[in-house]
Amino acid sequence: MSDIAPNDLSSFWLPFTPNSSFQAKPRMITRAKGMYYYSDDGREIIDGSAGLWCCNAGHSHDAIVSAVQNQVAELDFAPSFQFGHPKSFEVASRIAALAPDDLNRVFFCNSGSESVDSAMKIALAYHRYKGEGTRTRFIGREKGYHGVGFGGISVGGMVNNRKFFGPLLAGTDHLPHTYNRDEQAFTKGEPEWGGHLADELENIVALHDASTIAAVIVEPMAGSIGVLPPPKGYLEKLRTICDKHGILLIFDEVICAFGRLGHSFAAERYGVTPDLITFAKGVTSGVVPLGGVIARDHVFDAIDGGPGATQDHEIRLFHGYTYTGHPLASAAALATLNVYRDEGLFERAAELEAPFGDACHGVRERASAVEDIRSLGLAVAFDVAPVPGKPGKRGYDLMEHLFFEEGLMVRVSGDTVCLSPPLIVEESHIEQMTDKIAKAVTHIAG
């Protein structure tokens, strides 16, 4: 197209969005600062979703902004294949220091989806180098979200993300999801019921045989489907069963890491050390795309370390991205990690968990169409009664109404409304957000 009108909205194909509806009534953001977005018509909108679960330090933080500005003037790009630049090593060390136990090796990519694909490839390479190349199968979980790469949708369990895209990766299986409304409705934190569901892994292992299974991948708290906290004891059991059968355990912490659950990582909150952690989003507070995988020493050593593993010229892991360890992402990550540390934002999230949970659960009394509320850390989901025969319609209407009429950005998944505010959120914001949700649900769903 040669004649591009400045305000033509037809060329950009928005992801996960009904494009014609958007074009008819655009939700256009032009600026952000702290807890707020600002729309093209000058309205202030509370960011209830930290963008897409990523802007944990709040928006356009001065320290992060200037770190990125300075970096682009000093070193715009440097390759990470056979070369390096200091800041990417510094970020890796900082992340390794935050991660529990011997999760010491950090592989960088650019997004959560790439982090999942990278972790899956690392798991396959690990078994092959250990002489167990038959271990190629991955076990994910129903309702899981692991991004949109073919690896991620294959182990993921959100039906719409899978059903359009053919046979996917061969040789995957899925654990049952952990949600049961009859047993768990309106739970704050980790539900008492459901830990036993991890035992299903034994049945899956019995079916396929351990010798065919490379790894189990789960989100410690399933986020995108609408905040499903792990039942008490569940993650511990998965760890035990994986250890018993020589299966790697991958925690997809793309949402959970960097303070969302009041800790650096969910692994720390639960005292369970996986073999690999995937991360993205909060590592740069969303300012520059960055993702990665943290590997335990034994995983790295089997592939690329240990005495005599690497010959002078021999590459052991044939995987990486042009933008692995990008200087701008590295600068943004370093500045972000400093903000988290200096402003005590993970501790702040931990302290706010109880008042946040109380305020969110208070919506139950104020909006009768809310069928369940689940909260963990600074994340909450409100399940709203669907319009019969039109799944997702109520969620969409609520998202639109909250944006235009109430000045609140939320993330919806089907008919579930989620809040996951930046970790700088104050109790007054929490009150405003929950008021707006109660009001909007009553208005839209009666």
Q: Output the smallest distance, CB 219 to ligand PLP, in A.
A: 5
Residues 6+ apart with CB under 8 A from 353: 189, 262, 375, 376, 377, 378
Do 252 and 116 contact (CB within 8 A), yes or no? yes
Q: How many of the chain's residues bind ligand PLP (CB under 6 A)? A: 15
Task: Give whichever of 111 and 416 is closer to ligand PLP, judged by the CB atom.
Answer: 111
Question: Two tokens at 428?
Answer: 């007054």
Cα Rg of the chain (Å, integer): 22
Closer CB to ligand PLP, 54 or 64, in the complex:
54
Nearer Cβ to ligand PLP, position 344 or 392? 392
Compose the 47-66 pattern: x for residues touching ligand PLP by CB under 6 A, - for all others: ------x-------------
- Residue 192 CA neighbour count, 13 Å, CB half: 4
Q: Which stretch binds ligand PLP (CB under 6 A): 80-88, 139-147, 183-191, 237-245?
A: 139-147
Q: Closer CB to ligand PLP, residue 254 or residue 335?
A: 254
Torsion of the alpha carbons at 301, 306, 309 and 315, rounded to the nearest 10? 50
Q: Between 241 and 255, whose beta carbon lies closer to ligand PLP?
A: 255
111 is a contact residue toward ligand PLP (CB under 6 A): yes
In this chain, which of 252, 268, 304, 353 binds ligand PLP, going by CB under 6 A? 252
Provide the minimum distance between the beta carbon of 220 and ligand PLP in the complex, in angstroms, as a whole number: 9
Confirm or reject binding of residue 146 to ligand PLP (CB under 6 A): yes
Contact 128, 319 (CB under 8 A): no
SS3 annotation, 233-290:
CHHHHHHHHHHHHCCEEEEECCCCCCCCCCCCCHHHHHCCCCCEEEECHHHHCCCCCC
3-state secondary structure 384-432: ECCECCECCHHHHHHHHHHHHHHCEECEEECCEEEECCCCCCCHHHHHH
Tokens of 316: 């052991």
CA–CA separation, 17 vs 19, rounded Å? 6
Contact letters (x/-) for ligand PLP, 208-227, by CB under 6 A?
-----------x---xx---
The minimum distance between CB 367 and ligand PLP, in angstroms, equals 26
Interface stretch with ligand PLP, choices 111-119, 235-243, 294-302, 351-359 (CB under 6 A)? 111-119
Which helix (DSSP H) or strand (DSSP E) does residue 31 occupy? strand 29-33
Structure tokens at 213: 């299974």
141 binds ligand PLP (CB under 6 A): no
For residue 184, state whether it binds ligand PLP (rule: CB under 6 A).
Answer: no
CB of 48 to ligand PLP, least distance (A): 16
Q: With respect to ligand PLP, which residue has the nearer C-beta, 151 or 445?
A: 151
Query: Under the criterion CB under 6 A, does residue 113 sit at the interface with ligand PLP?
Result: yes
Among 35, 45, 116, 339, binds ligand PLP (CB under 6 A): 116
Site for ligand PLP in 293-352 (CB under 6 A): none
**255 sits near ligand PLP (criterion: CB under 6 A):** yes
Long-range contacts of 79-86 (CB under 8 A, 24+ apart): 79/322, 80/108, 80/320, 80/324, 80/325, 81/320, 81/324, 84/325, 85/325, 85/327, 85/330
CB of 132 to ligand PLP, least distance (A): 26
Provide DSSP, 312-345.
TT--------TTTT-HHHHHHHHHHHHHHHHTTH
Q: Is 145 in the site for ligand PLP (CB under 6 A)?
A: yes
The one-letter amino acid code at 285 reads S
The residue whose Cβ lies closest to ligand PLP is 112
Q: Return the range that interacts with ligand PLP (CB under 6 A); candidates 16-24, 109-117, 298-306, 313-321.
A: 109-117
Instruction: List contacts with ligand PLP (CB under 6 A).
Output: 53, 111-113, 116, 145-147, 219, 223-224, 252, 254-255, 280
